[in-house]
Structure formats: structure tokens, C-alpha cells
Amino acid sequence: MTASITTAIEEAKQRARAAVDSAAGDLVRISREIHAHPELALEERHAVAQLLPFVRAQGFEVRHPAYGLETAFRGEWGHGPVTIAICAEYDALPGIGHACGHNLIATAGAGAAAALVRALDPSQARIVILGTPAEEGYGGKIHMIKAGAFDDADVAMMAHGAPADIAAAPMYGVAHVDVEYFGKAVHASVFPEHGVNALDAIVTAYQAIAQLRHHIRRDARLHGIITHGGDAANIIPHHTKGTFYVRSLKPWYLEQLKQRVKACFEAGALATGCEMKLDWHEDQEYAPMLSNGPLAEAYQRNGEELGKTFIELKDLSSGSSDMGNVSQVVPSIHPNFGVGSPTLTHTPEFTAVAATDAAHAAMLQTAAALAMTGVDVALEPGLIGRIKADFAARGRREA
């Protein structure tokens, strides 16, 4: 890079940091407002109402509702050759509110988008802020991908509050399957020989899955529950139900595991003579996260410049996100950012943490790190080429 390009990038990053500082009051206020009014997947109307005036005030042209979802939106600014999409999630969890801290995701994303508008000239990039509902259920981004929300994006970024900073946290792909068995009810003592036992079928399937668990790759998970086991102890159960998750880091292995889990379900049907129904919810399957190497490295460099300390996970310990699906179609990152507490997400304790001053300081720092990464994408010669080459090589990394 020539000295003049380096200077231009540094100056743009300074403008990005200053923009986050000057928007800090608004961003923290919006985050607290979203946190205080938790809304479930696809009901996030109050959250969107908090975010849109801020996004519009930054100069974004806003489309809302968008992509067929009432609580999705798109804001667009600039006309440069690179399109940088930033995702803002804002849904909460049933019963425990913002225990995943999506109030912080929404404002880190909105803050980053605002900062890029101040940092860049409109001819240098196109900045797209996407309000992406329903991460905790339904898979809002999966729907938005199908509706074209990411078609023009060159990169997509978001950041998730967590116990620590991790630039490229692995996340499983996950398939959800519901199983039902249909047998024949009869008096359990008088005529058991005429019954077909649907509880035996699901117990046999559960046992087979529990045995399979010992023999799968370490980067995969199987877990599930029986949701209906019968109606009365003196009636042979004629109808039972269960729901199971199949998770894997590797898409090809997820497909293999699904077949092996299917065989476990079939074993239950075969052993008992029950009829079986499986529903794999194929259109809501979360793909594993493919963190883009050069993009994650740029984010980590910028985060470190702002004072972040990143850790590498030694053991795989992970959930899943519909950002995984985005990462399969656009070079993406989904870094975790430490919120100043070791508290684990999806606990009531994390709900409290997600509204602390420390969490908000981390959110602002993360907004700046995301914006500085966007500056690199727009202005650093060759970076977008390396990002795209890494994305093109993803098939090899998945093997």
C-alpha cells in the first residue's frame, strides 16, 4: 500500500471512531429501550420503531417492511463499487427477555452503519443495514436470503455479545426434526397382544440415538426430547411424539447424520410395527457458520487496536445461528464480543448483564471495530479480492 492510501484509511477510521463516540448517547438509549421491551421472533415492532428514526437520521434510504417480513427493514446509503451489509438482530427469548443480548447486536450494527456513513464518501461503498428479525426461532435471515436481501452484498457482518471476544467463533449447522409414531390402542392388561405400542417405538428410537451419540464426530451433537408419551398407563399408547436436534459443523456430515438418525427412527417403527411420520423442517435448517478468514482477521486487527483481547476456543462449545446461512452465500463474519462478564448466554443472569454500562461500552467499541473493518473492505487495495478467494475456497475448508 502506498503511504497516501494508508493515510486515507487511517483518517477514515478516525472519522468512524469519532462518529461512534458522537452517536453513543443515542445507541445506548436505543439499546436500553429494546432491552426493556423484549419481543419474540417476528413481533419486534417496538425494536424496529426505536432503530428506524436513528437509521434514517444518518442518511440511509429505508425500506420497511422489507422482504415480506413486517419486522425486517433495509437501509441503504452510497453507490460505491463494494456493498457492505451489516445485520441487526433484535428478538428476545420466551420468559427470560434479552438473555441473548440482541439489543446489543442491533445497536452495534446500527452504530457501525452510522460510522461508515461518516467515514466514507458515497462513491467509495454502498452501506446496507439490514434489520433481521427472528434469529431465535423461525430463521428470519433464511427467509431474507430467499427474498434476495443478500443478493448484492459483497460482505456481511454482525457481532454477538458473549462472555469473551472471539473473532471467528464456530457455530453448528442444525436440523430440527419432529417424529410421530402411530400404533394401536387397546387395554394394556386385557388384550395387550392386540396393541401396537407407539411408546415402545419412540423409546427404541431414543435409545438408538443415545447409542449413536457415542460414535459421531466431536464436532457434532444430537439431542432431543419425548413430548408426548401416551395417554394412560392402562392403554397401550397409540400415538407418541418427540423433537430432536441434529447439529454438525460440516454440512456434508450433517446430511450423513440426518440419515443415521432417520435409521434410528425407522428402527423404532420396524421393531414395533408402528407407522412413522418425520418432519425435518428443511426450510428452517440453520447452516454452520463459515467465518471468512481475511474479514475476521481485519476485524481482529481493528478490535485489538481499540483495546480488545481475543481468545481462541480450545474446545468446541457452540450454538447455531441463521447468520450461518448468510455465511454460505456471502463472505461473512459473526464475531463474539465480551460484555465484561463471564455470564453465559440464554440465562436470566445474562439478561441483566446485557443492560450494564460495561456491556454498552463493549457494544460501542464493537460498533467501531465493525466500521473500521468496513473501511478496510472499501479502501484497502486487494482485500476484497482476498475475501472472495477465501470464500471461493470454502468447499475445501469444509471437507
Piece of the chain touching Zn ion by CB under 5 A; list 75-83, 95-103, 194-202, 325-333:
95-103
* CA–CA gap between residue 220 and residue 247 (Å, rounded): 5
Between 18 and 42, whose beta carbon lies closer to Zn ion? 42
* CA–CA gap between residue 68 and residue 45 (Å, rounded): 14
Between 81 and 94, whose beta carbon lies closer to Zn ion? 94
Which residue has the CB atom at the shortest distance from Zn ion? 100
Q: Which amino acid is at 198?
A: A
Taking the complex as a whole, the smallest distance from the CB of residue 166 to Zn ion amounts, in Å, to 14
82, 87, 100, 296: residue in contact with Zn ion (rule CB under 5 A): 100
Q: What is the DSSP letter of 68?
A: T
Between 169 and 236, whose beta carbon lies closer to Zn ion? 169
Between 100 and 134, whose beta carbon lies closer to Zn ion? 100
Compute and round to an integer the Cα radius of gyration of the chain.
24
Q: Considering the rule CB under 5 A, would residue 261 count as an interface residue with Zn ion? A: no
Block residue for cell numbers 464426530: 217
Between 320 and 373, whose beta carbon lies closer to Zn ion? 320
Residue 247 burial (10 A CB sphere; 0-12, 13-18, 19+) = buried
Other CB atoms within 10 Å distance of the CB of residue 163: 18
Answer positive or negative: Cα dihedral of 110, 90, 370, 325.
negative
Taking the complex as a whole, the smallest distance from the CB of residue 93 to Zn ion amounts, in Å, to 7
Taking the complex as a whole, the smallest distance from the CB of residue 239 to Zn ion amounts, in Å, to 32
Between 294 and 338, whose beta carbon lies closer to Zn ion? 338
* CA–CA gap between residue 6 and residue 3 (Å, rounded): 5
Residue 247's nearest CA partner among 276, 268, 218, 270 is 218
Between 174 and 372, whose beta carbon lies closer to Zn ion? 174
Residue 174's nearest CA partner among 224, 243, 221 is 221
Strand-strand pairing, 155-157 and 332-333: parallel
Between 144 and 378, whose beta carbon lies closer to Zn ion? 144
Burial 125-135 (b: 16+ CB within 10 A, else e): bbbbbbbbbbb
Residues near Zn ion (CB under 5 A), total = 1
Piece of the chain touching Zn ion by CB under 5 A; list 96-104, 263-271, 334-342, 352-360:
96-104
* CA–CA gap between residue 209 and residue 266 (Å, rounded): 11
Piece of the chain touching Zn ion by CB under 5 A; list 93-101, 107-115, 140-148, 384-392:
93-101
Between 126 and 334, whose beta carbon lies closer to Zn ion? 334
Taking the complex as a whole, the smallest distance from the CB of residue 345 to Zn ion amounts, in Å, to 6
Strand-strand pairing, 173-182 and 275-279: antiparallel
Taking the complex as a whole, the smallest distance from the CB of residue 158 to Zn ion amounts, in Å, to 10
Residue 95 burial (10 A CB sphere; 0-12, 13-18, 19+) = exposed
135, 69 contact by CB (below 8 A): no
Taking the complex as a whole, the smallest distance from the CB of residue 139 to Zn ion amounts, in Å, to 12
> Rule CB under 5 A: which of 46-85 touch Zn ion?
none
Between 126 and 360, whose beta carbon lies closer to Zn ion? 360
Taking the complex as a whole, the smallest distance from the CB of residue 185 to Zn ion amounts, in Å, to 40
Taking the complex as a whole, the smallest distance from the CB of residue 178 to Zn ion amounts, in Å, to 21
Taking the complex as a whole, the smallest distance from the CB of residue 161 to Zn ion amounts, in Å, to 8
H/E stretch holding 83: strand 83-88
Taking the complex as a whole, the smallest distance from the CB of residue 128 to Zn ion amounts, in Å, to 21
206, 226 contact by CB (below 8 A): yes
Point out which residues bind Zn ion (CB under 5 A).
Answer: 100
